[in-house]
Amino acid sequence: MQVLVTGGAGYIGSHTVLSLLENNVDVIVYDNLVNSSIESIDRVEKLTGKKVEFVEGDICDKEKLSRVFKQFSIDAVIHFAALKAVGESAEIPLSYYQNNVHGTVCLLEVMQQHKVHNFIFSSSATVYGEENNVPYVETMKLGTPSSPYGASKVMVERILADLALSDSKFRAVSLRYFNPIGAHESGAIGEDPKGIPNNLLPYVAQVAVGKRDKLRIFGDDYPTKDGSCERDYLHVMDLAQGHVAALDWLNRHPDFSGVEAFNLGTGNGVSVFAIVKAFEQAINKKIPFEVSPRRVGDLPAFWANASKANKELNWQANRSLEQMMTDTWRWQSKNPNGFLI
Ligand SMILES: NC(=O)c1ccc[n+]([C@@H]2O[C@H](COP(=O)([O-])OP(=O)(O)OC[C@H]3O[C@@H](n4cnc5c(N)ncnc54)[C@H](O)[C@@H]3O)[C@@H](O)[C@H]2O)c1
């Protein structure tokens, strides 16, 4: 089986490519490297002893994409390529809609031209918006996210639903990720954000390694157990295996057409203070922090009801919080400058 992985050089993409190769799936990565390094793919090849076909290109470039579909016999597409910084998306919304929404439409058009019908989409818990109560369940209506980034994910989910209504051959799985953290247990690949990290764990890890002075915790007056925000953190390798499970689900359901959404999370909310404590315990060192005002748009707490993925995909997020911390630290301490060698 051959799978095209857009954005496969990025954080979740590279871990998923590794899991796919370990499950004997051939992979073609298509990435413009706007937020990643080709080094991640080299390391995945070394870790697995398998070859990855790599094409540098933009998903908005339909001619280049089309050549890739002509060159390889692609059975399915896993679509990670997107811009993903929530704050930045409010500053440059048009770039987010262009990249995440228009880019996805280009990809779907090229898939349609080449009669490739299997699609796995990187969606997000953010599609539940502010109006749904926790824990989030797939039967809830799509919400109204507060950021253009979140809105771009809702738009793509709507586009997939409309496409499925118009094309009875189209088979899509929308994976709604909660908060992936951690790194492959080798410490050879991990999250390597360009510039100042937007996510909590890379920030904590960069403070621990001495790259940044202290962590800023946004708000300690939320209506949660300890006043900080709570999120459903899951290990990136569990998330990677969720994609293998989704591909397997599509293969086990040859008569399925339409779009099926699955939450990928642990089902537990963990606070920012609890994450800092767990990280300190894992590395046996204090993390200096200061509390700053709340950020606009941050919800107090959300976590998944992941029963549907547990039952139908035979998938579970098994790795512990401790492992998420030790694997993050192994990656960060072995690669203080990320993939820059
Ligand atoms: N990391 C999270 O917390 C999280 C949570 C929910 C959903 N997601 C989604 O998962 C996907 C992967 O996220 P990630 O954390 O691995 O991000 P990432 O930035 O590490 O990976 C995205 C990859 O896509 C590539 N890319 C971006 N725009 C492109 C384009 N126009 N053409 C080709 N390649 C392009 C980037 O170079 C990068 O390699 C994204 O769609 C993101 O929105 C991430």
Give residue-wise pLDDT tens across range 215-250: 999 999 999 999 999 999 999 999 999 999 999 999
Looking at residue 192, its amino acid is D
Q: Which residues does a 6 A CB cutoff place in the pocket of ligand 1? A: 6-7, 9-13, 31-36, 58-60, 80-84, 99, 103, 122, 124, 177, 179-180, 199
For range 146-160, the mean pLDDT:
97
CA of 6 to the centre of ligand 1 (A): 9
What atom in ligand 1 is closest to the CA of residue 180? 3
pLDDT of residue 249: 98
Distance 182 CA to ligand 1 centre (A): 16
- Closest-CA residue, ligand 1 atom 32, reads 58
Ligand 1 center from residue 284 Cα (angstroms): 32
Fold of the CATH domain 200-231+267-311+318-334: UDP-galactose 4-epimerase; domain 1 (3.90.25)
Residue 311, exposed/middle/buried by CB under 10 A (0-12, 13-18, 19+)?
exposed
> One fold for both 2-182+233-266 and 200-231+267-311+318-334?
no
DSSP letter (8 states) at residue 60: T
Tokens of 266: 């642990």
Check 97, 128, 149, 222 and give the catalytic one: 149
pLDDT at 341 over 70: no
What spacing in Å lies between the alpha carbon of 16 and ligand 1's midpoint?
A: 12
pLDDT digits (tens, 9 = 90+) for 242-259: 999 999 999 999 999 999
User: Cα dihedral angle (227, 151, 215, 136), rounded to 10 degrees?
Assistant: 40
Cα distance between residue 9 and residue 41, in whole Å: 6
Mutation test of ligand 1: which of 14, 27, 31, 40 has the most ligand atoms closer than 8 Å to its C-beta?
Answer: 31
Q: How far apart are CA 266 and CA 303, in angstroms?
A: 8
pLDDT at 194: 85
Q: Name the helix (H) or strand (E) containing 175.
A: strand 171-177
Let me know if 149 is a catalytic residue. Answer: yes
CATH assignment, 2-182+233-266: 3.40.50.720
Q: How far is the CA of 341 from the centre of ligand 1 (A)?
A: 22
302 CB neighbour count, 10 Å cutoff = 22
pLDDT computed for residue 156 by the predictor: 99
Going by alpha carbons, the residue nearest to atom 34 of ligand 1 is 31
- Kindly report the protein residue whose alpha carbon is nearest to atom 11 of ligand 1: 80
Model confidence band, residue 70 (pLDDT cutoffs 50, 70, 90): very high
Mean pLDDT of the chain: 97
Domain range list for the chain: 2-182+233-266, 200-231+267-311+318-334
Q: Which of 14, 59, 77, 80 to mutate to test the pocket of ligand 1 (most atoms within 8 A of CB)?
A: 80
Ligand 1, atom 29, lies closest to the CA of 81
Nearest ligand 1 atom to the CA of 35 is 37
